[in-house]
Every structure is written in structure tokens, then in C-alpha cells.
Amino acid sequence: MQKKVAAIIQRLKERYPVAPCALHYLTDYELMIAVRLSAQCTDARVNLVTPHLFAAYPTLEAIASADISHVEELVHSCGFYKHKARDIVLACQMLIRDYGGKVPGTMEDLLRLPGVGRKTANLLLGDLYGAPGSVVCDTHCIRICGRLGLSQGKDPEKVERQLRQILPPEESSDFCHRVVLFGREVCTARSPKCDQCPLSPWCSQFVP
């Protein structure tokens, strides 16, 4: 398994030398907000919405004191806008009240924030703090790692635990970003481009 994982990581690095987060942000709280908006929504849509949100509320303090109904209007197109708007405002209030205006750097503290689950927390830990072992289990990760035999099942927390056991901690965050890029370009949910797949030697679904 270690050799297999190393080979897959190397192939993904060759295809995607740089592994940036697809969400656009300038500050730690902007990333927190963008990730919350990305639930059941495309990153492309979030990147269209956040500039207007951050222009209307250019500071953490401004968002924390925002009228939730106005935030709902600004994030409406991201879906589930009532829940997302409420979580965003309340999370920003908590950052100011409990964490000195900074996104906290531990899983325990992050999970206290409204709307922050393990997927969001792992992404924030990996991208903001470079924390080793940060595994972001989104739909691309679950689908592709299942096809590659790196994990079993579709429960995000179970897949996260499985991947944490086999991925080198220092590679895990970038691995997950590369898997997202790979899932959008090649290993799509429907009609994957198997004839173009650099990971076909390890794929259970590949038919020559």
C-alpha cells in the first residue's frame, strides 16, 4: 500500500505541480466563509459571490454585525442561503468574542464554530496552518480514493480515518487539493475519461 500511495501521489504531482485551494480569499476568515458557502455548491459559484459579500462587509467586524437577512440576499445563489448566512454571521461573532479575531488552529476549536464540520476544519488547518495530516474528504476525494482502493465506503469521517492511516501527513492536504483538480478534469462522477487517466494502473474501474 505504501508503494501504491507513493506512486499515486507522484503521478498527481506530475500532472498538478501546484495544488492551490480553488476558493479565492485574502484573509483567514474569508476562507472560512468561502468554505461554508461551498457546501452543496460549486467553487466557481462561490468565487462569484464572495467578492460582492466582502465588498459589502470588508472587515470581520462588519460581517459580525451584519443584518443576516442582507447576507442571505448576497449569498442566495449558493443555495441553503438561510443556514449559510446565519452560520457566517454567528461564526464571525465567535471569532471576535472567543478567538481574538483569528480563525483558531485546532480541530476542537474549529468544530465549535457554527457551520464548521470536519471537512471545513481540515481544509482550514491545512491551508491556513499547514497542519500535517489534514484530510479533506469531499465528494471527489471519496469517489476517487474508493476507485483507487485507498478507502472503502462513502462516509466522510470513515474515509478520512482510512486515508489518515496511509497518506504521508506532510502530503495529505495537497493530495486532497490535487484529487479535486483530478476529479474535475479526468475522473468525473459521470463518464470519467479513463483513456486519459494517469492513475489507471491502480483503478478498480479501469477497463483497457
Query: Catalytic residue numbers?
Result: 119, 138
Q: Pick left, alpha or beta for residue 203 (phi over 0 → left; psi -120 to 50 → alpha; otherwise beta).
A: beta
* Cα 193 to Cα 142: distance, rounded to the nearest angstrom: 18
Q: Going by C-beta distance under 8 Å and a sequence separation of 6 or more, which residues neighbour residue 2?
A: 166
- List, as one string, the DSSP characters of 26-95: SSHHHHHHHHHHTTTS-HHHHHHHHHHHHHHS-SHHHHHTS-HHHHHHHHGGGSSHHHHHHHHHHHHHHH
Asked if 160 and 118 count as a contact pair (C-beta separation under 8 A), the reply is yes
Asked whether the CA dihedral 185, 187, 193, 197 is positive or negative, the reply is positive
